[in-house]
Amino acid sequence: MSSATVTPESPLASALRKARWRILPLVCILYFIAYLDRNNVGFAREEMSESLNLSASAFGLAAGLFFIGYTIFEIPSNAGMHRFGARRWIARILIPWGLLAMGTAFVVDDVSFSIVRLLLGIAEAGFFPAVVFYLTLWFPVRQRAAILGVFVLAQPIANMLGAPISGLLLQMHGIAGLHGWQWMFLVEGFPAVIFGLIVPFVMTDHPAAARWLTDVEKAALERTIAEDAVRIASTGASFSVALRSPLAWGYALLNFGMVLGIYGLAFWLPSIVSELGDFAPLQRGLVVAVPYAAGASFVLWWSGRADRTGKRALHVAVSLGTAALGLVVAGFSLAFSPILAIAALCVVSIGVYTAIGPMLSMSASLFVGPAAAAGIALVGSVGNIAGFVSPVVVGWLIDATGSTQAGVLFLASALGATAIATVVFAGRRPEGNTELAFRISQSTSSHSV
């Protein structure tokens, strides 16, 4: 009788397996809530516009002001995370953001709507780069695109599930004397407050503090992360390195172009779907969920492929180019073929969401230590300016033309240009980012006084 030989799991593999199960579910839930709270205005646009007499331009401005507050306070917020640690800082972000998300239910006009959106952005500032930086403390470079792919999978899932949930809540119109859109903001903002109270008790700041890892596992994981840090920036780095680095600014501009498409889709897809037929809120939400389901289905595979090949820039360019082509088809098919338009929007969703993991992995691998927090925040801050530009420009184009087509084609142009720029700028070294990070460190050190 023979028995199968079982290969013992290495301490590093065991540590990473435990980290995946302990870390990823929580951060994915938090990002799900964040993405839903910042984007649910897109689901409520028609009902809010009718109640508050909002034009498309006024709606786009208010929606985009979130990102002005977010951008201004993002880098200071990440400095705070470095000082106080992930548990306290992320909890500090969650509670006021949840209260302000709920407070959106009580806006009375375009001015109050704009003020609350600005304050919501300030409250949520730093959350996304803080979590990305937090993940770099737990997972080595070779796994980060796949890990970040799991994390950003919360984006399309938030919209996929949030669309019908929001549609259902919008149909609560009249209950307790509230509009449906008021119920939507109250219900969807509440979980952020609850998790803000839970996070300090369930989140672990770094591997050394993990009671659920053995001493051997902690040592193996910390050694691997430290070796990555040495390879990425052998000359060291300071917090100001990111702000002085042309390469970091280049990645920030690439992220800007990608984010234009992400938030153009997030804020205006429900309005685009409304042009395809006369839907009740729940029906509209179910239709909107289809492209997001398509996008979610490809994120993990594409991010994993980017890690296996090391050609992250190429994967970003292919994704964004695919999204641009999908937007062109959608823009010209809205008037005559709803089915073709929905199919094209599925392609768009696949393109923009599969680009995020490899793009974040490139950016996160540029720096280590304090410079990592600053570098990730810089890339995120410049990208978030696109979160303001996208709804404002698309809203203005809708008011000017009476249709979403011009806005759709604007987004297609932006994504197409970004795909080309990614190949030219980052694709020159598609094998990875280690040498890019070394060049950043070298170039900034040579300019030190």
**What residue has token string 């689901």?**
43
Q: How far apart are CA 16 and CA 289, in angstroms?
A: 33
Residue 290 to residues 273, 294, 295, 300, 390, Cα–Cα distance (Å): 11, 6, 9, 18, 22
Q: What is the pLDDT at residue 416?
A: 96
Fold exhibited by the domain 14-441: Growth Hormone; Chain: A; (1.20.1250)
Q: What is the pLDDT at residue 433?
A: 41
**What residue has token string 């839907």?**
279
pTM for this predicted structure: 0.78
Q: What is the pLDDT at residue 12?
A: 86
Residue 363 to residues 129, 132, 253, 257, 378, Cα–Cα distance (Å): 11, 10, 11, 14, 10
Residue 160 to residues 117, 224, 284, 294, Cα–Cα distance (Å): 23, 36, 12, 9
Q: How far apart are CA 165 and CA 170, in angstroms?
A: 9
Domain boundaries, the chain: 14-441
- Side-chain half-sphere of 50: how many Cα atoms within 13 Å? 8
Q: How far apart are CA 191 and CA 133, in angstroms?
A: 23
Q: How far apart are CA 426 and CA 252, in angstroms?
A: 12
Quick one: 147 exposed, middle or buried, by C-beta within 10 A (0-12, 13-18, 19+)?
A: buried
With beta carbons less than 8 A apart as the criterion, state whether 378 and 242 touch. Answer: yes
The angle formed by the CA atoms of residues 316, 347 and 275, to the nearest 5 degrees, is: 130
Cβ-proximal residues to 244 (8 Å cutoff; 6+ apart), any chain: 444, 447
List per-residue pLDDT tens for the chain, 449 residues long: 444 454 567 888 888 889 889 888 998 899 889 888 888 998 899 899 999 999 999 999 999 999 999 888 877 877 777 787 777 888 899 999 999 999 999 999 999 999 999 999 999 888 877 787 788 888 887 777 678 777 777 778 888 898 999 999 999 998 999 999 999 999 999 999 999 999 988 888 888 888 888 889 889 888 888 887 666 554 444 556 667 777 778 888 899 999 999 888 888 888 888 888 888 888 999 999 999 999 989 888 888 888 788 788 889 999 999 999 999 999 899 888 889 999 999 999 999 999 988 887 777 666 655 566 666 667 777 888 899 999 999 999 999 998 888 999 999 999 999 999 988 876 554 344 443 443 434 433 333 33
What torsion, rounded to 10 degrees, do the Cα atoms 401, 405, 409, 414 define?
80
Q: What is the pLDDT at residue 364?
A: 65
Residue 387 to residues 4, 39, 65, 262, 380, Cα–Cα distance (Å): 55, 11, 9, 8, 10
